[in-house]
Amino acid sequence: MGVRVAEEWLHSCSGCEIAILNIGEPLVELLGQIDFVHIPVLMDHKYYGQMGEGEELEIPEADVGIVSGGVANEEHLEVLEAMRKQCKILIALGTCATHGGLPALINSWGMEEGIKNSYATPTTDKCQVPTDVVPKPLDRVYAVDEKVKVDLILPGCPPNPQLIAEVVTALIEGRDPVIPGKSVCDTCPTRREGKGDVSKVRRFVQNADYDPEKPIDEMRCLLEQGFMCMGPVTAAGCARRGAPSCISARVPCRGCFGPVRRDGNQMLDMMNALASNGIDFKSVVDRRSLLRFSGAHGLLRPINKKSGK
């Protein structure tokens, strides 16, 4: 019998699960060494028994539990607590689980406001917000470690399939996984010339200056070109073909692996990075969206009623 694995998704988009599939052919080999005991996206194990006869939500015991998504309603919390109870090792997979991810942007308003707004769009018939049977929302979006103890975090939006494979393989082999601990900049091959003459951040409404026929290491650093690039304050891990993935498409980093240090603050760190490059941080439109991937842990919160426009 292989290593028993349970997988769940909470306030998520399924991108993490697709990233698991994107392990590709090595996945077929891994599947020979693990036994999925619960994974709703691929397998039909039910919470309340296969005939729906049970009273309590039940997840089978597992050696390894993987959870994607943050925690935003009572059902997420119930599922997460069951996963924690049944899994010896619990992994938070993807930036929603580790830092709230994009859905935690709603923390600037609160869950209730977000839901209310969805039922008040111009094409929606006049109605009450649904409350029967559906799970009650929490006040805001939480990272998984705000609710239960987490043994290992693997951020990324999506997480890098090779790193997922590395973590699972390491657990099977009983060793510590090798996960990068540096910043995106440390893995970026673009050409840096030291402090540039940029004083303001430009919006990405025109393409970067580069020769598409030439390799990426001949393109000048996008931050030095004046674009907001969050490489300095973002955890490494996305690089797969010699460059961070967004940079390889000649597009600046937006911070989707979360802060370099687990408890870092991408907004404050980026302000510092800009200031130390002589760039006026006031030129950044919408500074709060520097926390667009890491707004859980109380970092994004409602400022006041007016901020909600």
Among the listed residues 12, 98, 190, 266, the single contact to another protein using CB under 8 A: 12
What's the chain's Rg over C-alpha atoms?
Answer: 21
For residue 51, the minimal CB distance to another protein (Å) is 6
In our burial notation (b when 16+ CB lie closer than 10 A, e otherwise), range 153-189 reads: bbbbbbbbbebbbbbbeebbeeeebebbeebbbebbb
Say whether residue 7 binds another protein (CB under 8 A).
Answer: no
Give the residue from 191, 180, 291, 292 showing the smallest Cα distance to 240: 180
Window of 146-154, 169-177, 184-192, 250-258 that interacts with another protein by CB under 8 A: 250-258
For residue 24, the minimal CB distance to another protein (Å) is 4
Q: What mask, x for binding another protein by CB under 8 A, covers residues 91 to 120? A: ----------xxx-xx-xx-x-xxx-xxx-
Say whether residue 178 binds another protein (CB under 8 A).
Answer: no
For residue 197, the minimal CB distance to another protein (Å) is 23
Pairing mode, if any, of strands 71-73 and 137-142? antiparallel
Distances (CA, A) of 208 to 1, 193, 203, 249, 280: 52, 16, 11, 10, 20
Say whether residue 304 binds another protein (CB under 8 A).
Answer: no
Which uninterrupted H or E stretch holds 65? strand 62-68
SS (H, E, C) 211-225: CCCCCHHHCECCCCC
- Number of amino acids touching another protein (CB under 8 A): 88
For residue 59, the minimal CB distance to another protein (Å) is 11
Among the listed residues 181, 242, 302, 308, the single contact to another protein using CB under 8 A: 308
Say whether residue 52 binds another protein (CB under 8 A).
Answer: yes
Give the residue from 170, 144, 13 showing the smallest Cα distance to 91: 144
Among the listed residues 73, 98, 190, 266, the single contact to another protein using CB under 8 A: 73
Question: In the complex with another protein, which residue's Cβ is closer, 147 or 250?
Answer: 250
For residue 137, the minimal CB distance to another protein (Å) is 8
Contact, 295 vs 107, CB < 8 A? Answer: yes
Q: Which of residues 128-147 bind another protein (CB under 8 A)?
A: 128, 130-135, 137
For residue 27, the minimal CB distance to another protein (Å) is 7
Q: CA angle at residue 100 from 308 to 240, to 5 degrees?
A: 125
| Residue 214 structure tokens | 């030439």
